[in-house]
Amino acid sequence: MTEKEKCHKGLLYDANYDEELLRERAVCKDLCYEYNSLRPSMIAERTEIIRRLFGKTKNNFLIEQPFYCDYGYNIEIGENFYMNVNCVILDGAKVTFGDNVFVAPNCGFYSAGHPLDAEKRNMGLEYAFPIIVGNNVWIGANVTVLPGVSIGDDAVIGAGSVVTKNIPSGVLAAGNPCRVIRELTEKDKNKYRME
């Protein structure tokens, strides 16, 4: 079994020294470098690089610069996806975002992690578990999402949170570790005026 196959099965794998994974990360880093070097006004060129980089995109999305990821091909984004500046996706495993997802600045989505055992960690071994973000989710600034986490539809994650466990749909959650604060209600829909 290759190191990449081990990774996709959720097993410990060699991320630091495996030639195939090193090569794939180098290709990704080159595309990120190219993307981050473009002028913000070069929207068509930016869109093309993201389409080449990511595993799946819909039609309408915007990812502000700078942006960084490990492989790119494990990232899937839905329609009307927006990611603000200085975000990182470590996509050793699949990282999926639904439709109408807003990600604030300085967020990290880390599907990769390291063993607690120092001996295994020092061998360059790591694991990767998928991250799933549902539809209509807003993720506040400086949020960290850890391996294996799912965030349900219509959830709001407060700024500065560290999401270590699954978050259900339709809630406001925040904190370190992130926990449900309360359910979102009809009152929340009417809090801000449109006119």
CATH number at residue 92: 2.160.10.10
Any domain includes 14: yes
pLDDT of residue 185: 87
Any domain includes 115: yes
Domain that holds residue 179: 3-189
Looking at the structure of the chain, the number of domains it has is 1
Any domain includes 194: no
Any domain includes 195: no
Cα separation, 101 vs 107, whole angstroms: 13
Q: Which of 133, 130, 143, 131 is nearest to 169 (CA)?
A: 133
Catalytic residues: 114
pLDDT of residue 127: 97
With contact defined as beta carbons under 8 Å apart, do 37 and 58 qualify? no
Q: What is the pLDDT along the chain (195 residues), one digit of tens a residue?
A: 999 999 999 999 998 889 999 999 999 999 999 999 999 999 999 999 999 999 999 999 999 999 999 999 999 999 999 999 999 999 999 999 999 999 999 999 999 999 999 999 998 899 999 999 999 999 999 999 999 999 999 999 999 999 999 999 999 999 999 999 999 888 887 777 666
Any domain includes 33: yes
Cα separation, 26 vs 85, whole angstroms: 22
Any domain includes 144: yes
pLDDT of residue 194: 65
pLDDT of residue 140: 98
Q: Which residues, 6 or more positions from 64, have their beta carbon under 8 angstroms from its beta carbon?
A: 40, 83, 84, 85, 87, 105
